[in-house]
A and B are shown apart, each in its own frame.
Chain A
């Protein structure tokens, strides 16, 4: 059973460009979470999605960031007009049911490292 897959693993963008980060959850998982980790810092929750629905976006910056998890295909985290401060590792996690419920763990992907020049 393949784990959570993220691509690309490394992404370089110039200021003002768009970044698209993809996350394919584990088979059978319909809940996806995105976290951001700035250099030398801990992980910060961004958004929680279930197929076609955003459940909790309390950690998403108000502008330039959006996320989707369509019925078919991977979840996408989109960052428009990137700035240097967006440089970070972005991790995706998935679970078969809401991770708040005991026994439903979040399985993390390897991350996408975004560098904004």
Chain B
């Protein structure tokens, strides 16, 4: 699986959009981009994933650049409960099961 690079930490004001970047410059054509988050001491929570098109669900939007070398997770209206570590993962679309988690970005939403 391709390696990802994320900033170690970010702050966001409550109610504003949080934009979390991820670099995956060595991504290959059959690798998906996944985002998870881990709120303190809890199990990771799936947020969203995509291949090359932008995706949106009730939690977030995922913007993937045309060359697929980077992506941005957008939380449109961050709340204090969105404070967590956000992990960007790239995973090949095969029967392989494991996810390789990096260090993630610690997002702190401030009032």
> B-contacting residues of A (Cβ < 8 Å)?
4, 31, 33, 35, 42-45, 48, 55-56, 58-59, 89, 91, 93, 95, 98-102, 105-111
* B82-111 CB contacts (< 8 Å) to partner A: 87, 91-104
Q: Are A42 and B95 also in contact (CB < 8 A) when A4-B43, A102-B51, A111-B43 are? A: no
Chain A residues within an 8 Å CB radius of B101: 35, 42-45
Chain A residues within an 8 Å CB radius of B102: 42
Classify chain B's interface size.
20 to 34
Contact B100 A45 (CB under 8 A): yes
In the complex, the chain A residue whose C-beta lies closest to that of B85 is A42
Contact A31 B97 (CB under 8 A): yes
17 A-B pairs with C-beta separation under 8 A? A31-B97, A33-B97, A42-B101, A45-B99, A91-B44, A93-B44, A98-B96, A98-B97, A100-B92, A100-B93, A100-B94, A100-B96, A102-B93, A105-B49, A107-B46, A108-B45, A110-B43
> A-contacting residues of B (Cβ < 8 Å)?
32, 38, 41-46, 49, 51, 87, 91-104
Interface residues of B: mostly helix, strand, loop or mixed? Answer: loop
Number of A-B pairs whose CB atoms are under 8 Å?
73
A56→B101 CA distance, assembly (Å): 16
Contact B99 A99 (CB under 8 A): yes
A83→B42 CA distance, assembly (Å): 24
A77→B92 CA distance, assembly (Å): 26
Contact B43 A105 (CB under 8 A): no
Contact A48 B43 (CB under 8 A): no
A31→B99 CA distance, assembly (Å): 13
A11 → chain B, closest Cβ, in Å?
15
Q: Are A98 and B95 also in contact (CB < 8 A) when A42-B87, A108-B43, A111-B43 are? A: yes
Chain A residues within an 8 Å CB radius of B104: 42
Chain B residues within an 8 Å CB radius of A108: 43-45
In the complex, the chain A residue whose C-beta lies closest to that of B50 is A102
A61 → chain B, closest Cβ, in Å?
15
A55→B32 CA distance, assembly (Å): 21
